[in-house]
Amino acid sequence: MSRDALLVTHTGRWDMVDRAREVSDLLLSAGFQVRMLEEEAADLGVTDVKAVSPDESAAAGCEVVLVLGGDGTFLRAAELARPARAALLGVNLGRVGFLTETEPEALPDTVRHIVERSYQVEERLTLDVDVTVGERVVARDWALNEASVEKTKRERMLEVALEIDDRPLTSFGCDGVVCASPTGSTAYAFSSGGPVAWPEVQALLVVPNAAHALFARPLVISPESTVAITVADAGHDGVLGCDGRRTSPVPAGARVTVRRGGKPVFIARTHALPFTDRLVAKFGLPVSGFRAGRERHD
């Protein structure tokens, strides 16, 4: 029985052709059937792979979805991997690349881990989101990192009321509200002042963004809780953004409900690197700077 892998790439990078062909050749020589999205295969001129449509069937039956790019490419690949419950493994060709696992120079070693099945798979909590107007659901989406309700015009605040488990908590004017998973705690929620959550933590994060209120602190709540954000009837329209990739209008009076996703995302790890070390490496944290400075003054 053949082993299948879907290769998702960032075709805007000049060096992507060689990287994609290197990965494809390594997998093909190991007996894999390699798939690529039709447009990406055409852009890169790769012809010895199976070209597939960018829909929910793209990763069906795949053992792994190998991602060459940054976090944006990874989130795009997650849309394909999630319905198939295929594991995502990212090679960072972007900048920070927090979701990705390895760097480009480790490509042969990464492919070896895939071939030998010597990798661990982590289950990541996702978010399911509904937008309702009255009793009618007008939009439905999901997110791996975050779902954010934001204002649509810079000069106008978004007036919202926040509920947890159908109980009113507070209301305020703001630029928006970010609801994040632990995986997304280092993304938009982090830049909005939210806490960093270790990936294995089971929780939902709620982070007001530039709120005009005395009580507008980030919240860490149960993964079984439901968050509801209602936009004021007499206020301005908002917009729902999921993972920075998909948007839906949120008209005045609409209610956005966020809960734990029914389908998780699976991420493959080839190295047992503690999350603390990943934080230090990705953010360039000064783990010895203070101590070294003190020793110099002593």
Catalytic residue among 4, 71, 141, 175: 71
71 is catalytic: yes
Q: Which two tokens stand for residue 162?
A: 């926040």
C-alpha–C-alpha distance, residues 277 and 22, integer Å: 29
Q: At what angle do helices 107-115 and 16-29 cross, to 10 degrees?
A: 30
Residue 290, φ and ψ in degrees, nearest 5: -65, -45
Q: Strands, E, within 165-290: which ranges? A: 167-174, 176-180, 204-209, 219-221, 227-231, 238-242, 246-250, 255-260, 265-269
Q: Return the ∠ at Cα 50 (arms to 45 and 56), rounded to 5°.
A: 115
CB–CB of 76/8 below 8 Å? yes
Judge contact between 172 and 158, C-beta under 8 A: no
- Residues involved in catalysis: 71
